[in-house]
Chains A and B, each alone.
Chain A
């Protein structure tokens, strides 16, 4: 009879006791409990991590269930963070798990909170939150393991301030936007009509006006000013029609407005159609009459999202989905009528069938008018919803790689960390791992200096900050700029705020201020940008109202300038040691490695 084995038998055998202890004592944070998050949490729990915090603001959706295996059908609409915690806890009762159903950008998750973790795992699905966590981890000097997947592709990297490249060291693609005239007047591709349906028509009828949409570029120039004014008038007329929502004539009024009257007006601008096929207006009354037969099989049409619908089918879906949305809108209105004066809003959600049907039908009708190819609902869902394909296998691989990197982080072996890419279309490899990248010296996020300041909020003014702290203490010259987010607080011309208290300027605990040195005349170049993290002093400070916390030692300086802890910018023309150029296609990079040293780190145990 084999002696009974302990629960963590295999872990202690393979890790050896030093690593096993590091793992058990680690307090870690996982941001995001979706595709990668579910896999990661399972692996972290079974690897034996001592304390795991989870933050996710999302709730569970049906389309998550093909990969987010901690969730079941009965969990739909519940908090991802809380359900994940319950599901994972059962598998290792010794692990302490804490779940926060909240946005990681909430003020409670401040720099001090971040600094309480041994490391942070990003398992996020969007650029904005990734950037935020990246920034917070740099400010708190906590190592971050960043990961992402798209379909069969995936990637893992370790971010440690000053040692490896941060998330923003390579510029990221921003979402595409289209000129407003292309969308509203001269579409030529299916995507133009889809953006029109989603960002113009849907939001004009059921929500916030288009001016708030970022999918359209509203910049005016002398050439399009007239047209943009016309478009404004069109939108005004549409608002009038909105008033008849809920009446039987609403679909016809809306249809004839956008697919007939507006099109006729557009067509009358002959200049526009010299080099383009002019649009052909549609009339509701005649089409709906011809579509009577199609209407009878409406349910069948609605179920068939793979096939491209014809004119009649699109009109039927337009009418039906508009009625569904109108009904919902009226219900929302009456349910919040008591007291609240704000109009309800229905926004596009790719998994909300009513909005998807409406956008599909209205985009296709517009395409038919402009002689553009129609698309199936399945395709439009992807194009309108920015759907990223996602499957369990890729997430499993990436989560496993994250945990492997975490072992090196726990040991402080940052030079052994790898940037790993999944290369699914190179069947001769599957994975490619690359040495970590050094920080980009020109990175706007991690090349900055970070200083925490303790502020006596009862009396500190901007003048105290600029004159006392920045100029006298840190050695800044005249030409500096101080920003709070996008807002300018101070520069040589903007001095009105100097006498104001910081609180009056909207600055509070955990605010970040950026100080930019514009002294380009200095032969050694200007200083790197400085990020000040404001901490409120619990008691009144007796001397100066602003005090630096743990200021770094002054950089070595030549005798002609006062010592300052804020270094000057490295000239980007001098390539810094070990910095690789950002590479467009990381999959193609060769592996550079020294496997023998890695080997030892395990055999040494």
Chain B
């Protein structure tokens, strides 16, 4: 019955869905795949202290459409909350801060689900963590009670969940990302100009043949033909000549500039334009495209990494292993296959595109064969192998925590050593003192500056003699655990940005701590 009715009146649906329209401006940054990852995510915020920075972070995740979020917070809303937290109003006074914030945050985006904890007064945080894994990523704001910190850390470790701590007080803030093990990224979104890979020094047969055909009897070609040979073919033609006279291809900077002049000398100038556009393009492309394929350090790191047994079974490492074998065999990564715009006849340009595409497809199928031969490679999607091959030169690994992390003292030594030279090198001074001072108030928001120095001295014995540490400690003490809305909003923007990178597995997240100084409007990234 219903079927008949719907058949008779087809739904009037024009164009993209409302959801696509709402998210249009961000889909252009992380595509449908990134959006899906966001919508599948469930984020927990363990809130405490002045309680604003975590909520501001959530705002920036609710707006782009995270699937679900939960706030765990046992505080009750007071007057000071209203002055700093945008997601609380007069009606919330005396109510659960978690529940109140969830309700106002949810208003931002009806597609997002929100939940809060505790549901009953006095319910222990332990009960939140008792069930199966339900969170994709956990954030907690500092200061936090020691016992709660231990609970959340245990849970994150058990289920291998990324954990982010955030601390905002007065004009200072920092956040720190704790990733479970190594974190590989395929889609790093490199600068589009960096991705051109033309293989001019190692052309394959089809390309060489095609180019040779275009440059046959080159000197006697008509003005029109001569001016329309695509610059790729020009460079291959002159490289061949260079090799004949020099015995090898140009490799040093000096040789390359000499080669560039050699190409330029081939331009016909007895025409109304006084030159040829395709030659101009060839000359401009010499330094960028005439270079032997070499692996970037980040790809080398991937190749050198020894994945654990569980890691090795994951899609990333199965494909990475196949690519590594491909590289060992061909001394080159799979060809990305795109060709930049250039002066050429349309038909020739299309043929050239097809030659690169065919080679790229051939490389993908070779990698795919290796993947399929892997015991865990049977069910890996072809599209994933294609994406990996396209991005192969830009894959990146963020290392997990070291088993024996460097001591704060050793990090401090290095940072303060640099500071001694700062005036000479014009480098900015280290923001480590801010991290140290905030960190010392992780469980004691109203510590005095001398409390902070005393606590710090356990790890940095000469802290009280360092003027910059003492000043930072004074500034932290002055805030007495209070947050400035503006600093927390700014920090919340930075944290949410990193959360999106981690959840979408796109772009490169920071490694691993970002310290912000609102007095000088500066950040510093430290691995701690």
Residues of chain A touching chain B, judged by Cβ–Cβ distance below 8 Å, are: 4-11, 13-15, 39, 42-43, 46-47, 62-63, 65-67, 69, 72-73, 90-91, 151-152, 188-189, 274-277, 299, 302-303, 305-306, 324, 351, 353-354, 356-357, 370-372, 377-378, 381-382, 387-397, 399-401, 403-405, 418, 420, 424-425, 427-431, 433, 590-593, 595, 598-599, 601-603
Contact = CB atoms under 8 A, between A and B. Distances in A.
Interface of B: 10-11, 13-18, 20-29, 32, 50, 56, 59-60, 63-65, 78-80, 82-84, 86, 89, 107-110, 170-171, 189, 191, 224, 228, 341, 345-347, 350, 426-429, 471, 474-475, 478-480, 482-487, 489-494, 496-497, 500, 507-511, 514, 516-525
Given A63-B22, A391-B29, A392-B64, A10 B80 contact: yes
Contacts of A5: 78-80
A400 B109 CA distance: 23
B25 A389 contact: yes
Contact of B345 (A276, A356, A393): A276
Contacts of B474: 603
A43 B485 contact: yes
Contacts of A10: 50, 80, 83-84, 479, 482-485
A595 B22 contact: no
Contacts of B171: 14, 602
A13 B89 contact: no
Contacts of B13: 299, 302-303
Given A277-B346, A427-B510, A595-B429, 4 more contacts: A188-B346, A420-B521, A429-B524, A429-B525
Q: What 9 pairs across the A-B complex have the smallest Cβ distances? A: A400-B490, A396-B493, A10-B482, A5-B80, A46-B485, A353-B15, A7-B83, A397-B493, A393-B497
A83 B17 CA distance: 25
18 contacts: A4-B78, A9-B482, A62-B21, A63-B22, A67-B26, A152-B497, A275-B228, A299-B10, A389-B28, A393-B496, A397-B490, A400-B489, A425-B189, A427-B509, A431-B516, A431-B521, A595-B522, A599-B520
A13 B482 contact: yes
Nearest to B488: A400
Given A14-B479, A277-B346, A591 B522 contact: yes
B26 A390 contact: yes
Nearest to A399: B489
A303 B18 CA distance: 11
B521 A418 contact: yes
B65 to A, nearest CB: 7
A91 B86 contact: yes
B475 A603 contact: yes
Contact of A11 (B484, B490, B491): B484
Contacts of B522: 431, 433, 591, 593, 595
A303 B13 CA distance: 7
Contacts of A63: 21-22, 24-25
A370 B347 CA distance: 11
Contacts of A591: 427-428, 522
B346 A392 contact: no
A599 B519 contact: yes
B350 A371 contact: yes
B25 A66 contact: yes
A602 B82 CA distance: 25
B514 A430 contact: yes
B11 A299 contact: yes
Contacts of B508: 425, 427
A66 B109 CA distance: 8
A371 B525 CA distance: 49
Contacts of B490: 396-397, 399-401, 404
A90 B514 contact: no
B485 A389 contact: no
Contacts of A11: 83-84, 484-485
Contact of A424 (B482, B487, B497): B497
Query: Chain B at the A interface: mostly helix, strand, loop or mixed?
Result: mixed
Contacts of B110: 73
Contact of B511 (A370, A396, A399, A427): A427
Contact of A303 (B17, B426, B519, B521): B17
A522 to B, nearest CB: 40
A72 B107 CA distance: 8
A395 B350 contact: no
Contacts of B341: 189
Kindly name the residue among B59, B171, B426, B522 whose own CB sees the greatest number of chain A CB atoms within 10 A. Answer: B522
Given A299-B11, A396-B493, A433-B522, A6 B59 contact: no
A377 B17 CA distance: 13
Contacts of B89: 90-91
Contacts of A595: 428-429, 517, 519-520, 522
Q: Which has the most chain B C-beta neighbours within 10 Å: A14, A371, A405?
A: A14
B272 to A, nearest CB: 11
Nearest to B487: A400
A392 B493 contact: yes
A5 B483 CA distance: 13
B525 A401 contact: no
A42 B507 contact: no
Contact of A391 (B25, B189, B479): B25
A498 B287 CA distance: 61
B63 A67 contact: yes
B347 A277 contact: yes
Given A152-B29, A389-B25, A389-B29, A429 B489 contact: no
B25 A390 contact: yes
Contacts of B56: 396
Contacts of B345: 275-277
B268 to A, nearest CB: 16
B337 to A, nearest CB: 14
Given A10-B50, A62-B21, A389-B28, A43 B520 contact: no
Contacts of A392: 59-60, 63-64, 493, 496
Given A152-B29, A305-B20, A595-B428, A46 B486 contact: yes
Contact of A9 (B11, B80, B471, B521): B80
B496 A62 contact: no
B453 to A, nearest CB: 16
Given A396-B56, A399-B489, A433-B520, A382 B28 contact: yes
A298 to B, nearest CB: 9
Contact of B21 (A351, A396, A590): A351
Contacts of B518: 404
A371 B346 contact: yes
B484 A593 contact: no
B478 A14 contact: yes
A66 B23 contact: yes
Contacts of A388: 25
A401 B521 contact: yes
Nearest to A385: B24
